[in-house]
Amino acid sequence: MELWSSASYEPHLLSLPFAFAPAAMLIVIAYALVMRGEPKLRAWMLAHFVALMPYSLTMALSPSLRSPAAALTAFRAAGSFIPLAAAAGAGFQLTMLGKRGPWRVFVWAGVVVASAWAILGLTTDVLVDDVHWLPPGFWYAKAGSLVWASLASTLLISGPTFALMTIAAFREQPGEERRQLRFVLAANYVTYAGLTDVALAYGIGWFPLGWFLSGVGSVLVARALVVEDLLRVRAIDTTAPQLVLHFTVAVLFGWLMLGVLGHVTWWGMGIALSLSYLGVRTTIATVGLINRGARGGEGPLERLLDQLVVRARALTSEPDVARLAIDIVELGLGVKIDVLIAQAEDYGWTDAAGVRLPDEAAPDPLLGAWLGEQRGALWPEHPGIPDDLREPLRGLLAKRGRTLIPATAHDELLALIIVPATHPVRGRSLAFLEQTAVRLGEALVHARMAHRAEQRAALAREVELAAVVQQQLLPKPGPHVYGDLTIVGSWLPATRCAGDFWGVYSLGDKRVLVAIGDVTGHGVASATVTAAAAAACDVAVRRHGSALDLTQLVTMLDAAVRRVGGGQLSMTCFAAILDPDASEVRFVSCGHTSPYVCRAGETSEPAIELHALVGRGNPLGGGSAPAPKVQQKQLRAGDLVVWYTDGVIEAKDPAGEAYGDRRLQRMLRKLDRNQLTAPAVHTVIHAAVAAHRGSRPRGDDETLVVAQWAPS
C-alpha cells in the first residue's frame, strides 16, 4: 500500500508528457473491449496492450513518486509483464497471418515462459534490484541478476513472429490486407524498439525512450486497426467512440484536478478521478441528448441496418451487395454468414464472390419456388416446411450451415442467407438477421435496376456511336454532279441506327457507280453490317478504279456481309454503273427492289415512260452465293433513274395501308416532263411518301436515290 500512501505520491507536471503512452494504450484497449469482429485477434491485442500498460503507467507515475520503495514496487510490476506483452504480441501476429498447428504450440509455450517471468519479477528482485533517481527528475529501475535472461526470452518469443510478419508484409499481393499488415508491422517494430531502455537499468544513458516508443506504437496500431474501423463504426455504433472519448477526456481532466489539489491521500485521489469521469460522462450525455432531441434512440444493430441500405445505394453489382451484407452481419454479430444469389437471367445461383454454383450444389428449383413465398428463418426441423421439401432443404444446409433465411421481393427469391451451424442465433440476433434479409432483398432489387439502367445507357451510347459512324460513311444528300450525271439521295432511319445504305462513286471516264442496300432489321447490328458494306464499296473502288467489274463488287460485298453478319443477317443490294458515253446502265440485283427508268416520250404526250431494271440474284450474306447476272439497258440523254428500299413502298398510313409499288408507278408516270430533274423528282417522291404516312412513325428505314443524265 506504500505506493498509494499520501507520503509516496505527489502530482508533478513532468508526469503529463509521460501520460501520452497510457492514454494511447487506453484508446486501443477501450476499442478492443467493445469492438466486434474476430474474437481471437481481439483477445491477443487486448492482452498485449494490457501487459504493456504497467510499464507505461509506471513511467507516467515516476516523476510524481516521492518514495523509493513505492517506485521499486511500481518498476518491478512494470518489468515483470514485458515478456508477457511480447508473447501476446506474437499471438496477435500469428492470428493475423492465420498460422496454426506448431505455431500455436510455440505461442502458448511463450505465454507459459512469460508468465513464469511475471511471477519471478513480482516476487523477487531478479529483474529489478533497486531504483535510482535520474537527472531529468524521475525514478528508473536498476537491473537485477536475470534481466539479461528475461530480455533473451522476450527476443526469442517475438523474433520468429516478426520474421513471418515481415515476409508476409512484403510478399502479400497489393491491396488493403498488405497495407494493414505493413502498418501493424511498423507499429510493432516501434513498440519493441523501447527495449533499448534496458541500458538505463545498467546505468547507461540518462533519459528513457521506451514509454514514448510504446505510445507511438499504440498510435500506429490505432491507425492500422482502430482508426479506419472507428470512422466506419462511428456511423453505426457509438459505443467505441464514446468510451474512448470518456477515457481520454477523463484522464486529462483528472490529472489537472490532482495537480490543482496537490497532496491528497490515495482514497482522495480515487474520489477525484471518479468525479472527473462522472463529470465528463454527464457532459457528453447531455450534449448527446441535446443533439438527439426528442428522437427515439437507436441501437447499434439498427444503425447497422441503416448503413446496409445507405451503402448499398452506390452498388450496381449483386455480389458487391452480398459481400456488404456479410460484412455488416459480421460486424454486428461476429458471425460470418454465407450468401447465395439467385440469377434472374437463367435461374442459376452464384456465391457472394460471383462464382457460379454447380447445379448439384445449387438449391433445388422446387425448393427455390417455395422459398420465394417464405419470410423469416428456416431450419430442417421447422414445422412449416412441406414434407417433400424437407430433404432438399436438409441437403442444401448439410455443408453450409444450420439456419437459412430467404431474401425476397414481391414473392421473388433473390438470395439466401445461410448461418453456420457453429453460431446458433436466437432472440435479437435472429431478428437482426431477418431484417438484414429484408434489406438485402431491397438492395438486390435496387442493384439489378441500377445495373439494367447502366446497360441501357451503355447501349444508348453504342447506338449513338454507331449512328454517327454510319452517317459519316454515307454520302451527303447532294446533288452530286459528275459531268452530265446528277445524283440526289436521302437516308431516313426508322430508329437511331439504320439497316439501309447507299453510295455514289466516280469511276473515271464519265462513269459513275451507284449502290443501294437494305440489311434485314435495323439497329446496331444492322448498322454494323451496312458500315461494313459501305467500307467494302470504298475498298473495291479504290482497288479497281475504272476497271471495276460489278461481279467483283458483289463478291466483295458478300464476303463483308458474311464476316460481319455471321450468317445471321443478310442484305439486298442493287449496284449500277451509269455510262453516258456508252449510253447505257449496267447493273446487278441481289434480291433488291427493282429501280425505275423515267423517260420523257418523244411525242407531246405528257405521260412519262416507265421502265423497270429487273435483275436476278440472291441476297448477300445468306446461305447461298449471290450469283447475279450483269444486265444492261440503253439510256438516253434526259433519262432519270429512281432507286429505293422497301421502306419507301411499305410506308403505312394511319389506317395501316402501305404506300405500295403501284402507287409509286402511277406517281412517276404523272411527273411533269418539264420539271424532270433529279432534285425535283426526289422531292416529289419524298413528299408523297411523307404525306401518305402522315403522323404514323416510320416502320422501316427509307432510302431514296435519284440520278439523271442531263438532256442534250
Claim to verify: residue 561 and residue 497 sit in the same structural domain: yes
Per mean pLDDT, which range of 116-125, 138-147, 251-260 is the poorest? 251-260
Q: Are residues 61 and 126 in the same domain?
A: yes
Could you tell me if residue 138 is inside a domain? yes
Q: Is residue 281 part of a domain?
A: no
pLDDT of 541-590, one tens digit each? 888 888 888 988 988 888 888 888 777 888 899 999 999 989 999 999 99
CATH of the domain at 648: 3.60.40.10
Task: Return the percentage of the chain with pLDDT > 90, whole number.
Answer: 12
For 539, the domain range is 474-709
Local confidence band at 256 (pLDDT 50, 70, 90 cut-offs):
low
Interval 328-353 mean pLDDT: 85
Contact 150, 118 (CB under 8 A): no
Q: What is the CATH number of the domain that holds 66?
A: 1.20.1070.10
Q: Are both 167 and 61 inside the same structural domain? A: yes
Q: What is the 3-state secondary structure (H, E, C) of 66-123?
A: CCHHHHHHHHHHHHHCHHHHHHHHHHHHHHHHCCCCHHHHHHHHHHHHHHHHHHHHHH
User: Domain for residue 270, yes or no?
Assistant: no
pLDDT of residue 584: 93
Give this prediction's pTM: 0.45
531 Cβ neighbours under 8 A, 6+ residues apart:
466, 469, 470, 473, 501
Grid coordinates representing 496 are 437511331
Are residues 388 and 478 located together in one domain of the fold?
no
CA-to-CA distance for 475 and 508, rounded, in angstroms?
Answer: 18
Structural domain contains residue 621: yes
5-19, 63-77, 112-126, 658-672: the lowest-pLDDT one: 5-19
Sheet containing strand 485-492, edge to edge, reads: 480-482, 485-492, 702-709, 640-644, 596-600, 608-612
Residue 342 lies in a domain: yes
**657 and 566 part of one domain:** yes
Q: Which helix (H) or strand (E) holds 623?
A: none
Number of domains in the chain: 3
Residues 439 and 487 both lie in one domain = no
Per-residue pLDDT at 398: 79
Q: Are residues 391 and 502 in the same domain?
A: no
Q: Say which residue the cell 474512448 belongs to.
A: 244
Which of 234, 256, 274 terminates a domain? The answer is: 234
Domain boundary residue, one of 212, 234, 256? 234
What pLDDT does residue 164 have?
Answer: 86
Q: Is residue 248 part of a domain?
A: no
Q: Which residues pair with 590 in a beta bridge?
A: 573
CA distance 263 to 8: 10
Q: Give yes or no: residues 504 and 612 share one domain.
A: yes
pLDDT (tens digit, 9 = 90+) per residue, 150-185? 888 888 988 888 888 888 877 766 655 666 677 777
Residues 541 and 687 in one domain: yes
Which are the contacts of 283, defined by CB distance < 8 A and separation ≥ 6?
none
The verdict on 482 and 595 lying in the same domain is yes
Whether residue 705 has pLDDT greater than 70? yes
Residues 313 and 441 in one domain: yes
Indicate whether 429 and 491 sit together in one domain: no
Strand pairing of 596-600 and 584-590?
Answer: unpaired
Tell me, yes or no, whether 148 lies in a domain. Answer: yes
In a domain, 84, yes or no: yes
CATH number for the domain harbouring residue 386:
3.30.450.40
- What pLDDT, in 10s, does the model give residues 428-444? 888 888 888 899 988 88
pLDDT digits (tens, 9 = 90+) for 615-633: 888 888 876 776 788 899 9
Mean pLDDT of the chain: 80
> Mind listing the pLDDT tens digit for each residue in 189-247?
777 777 777 777 777 877 777 667 766 766 676 665 554 443 343 333 444 455 555 66
pLDDT of residue 296: 46
Distances (CA, A) of 252 to 24, 159, 399, 646: 12, 36, 53, 88
Which of residues 218, 234, 250 is at a domain's end?
Answer: 234
Give the pLDDT confidence score for residue 132 in this predicted structure: 83
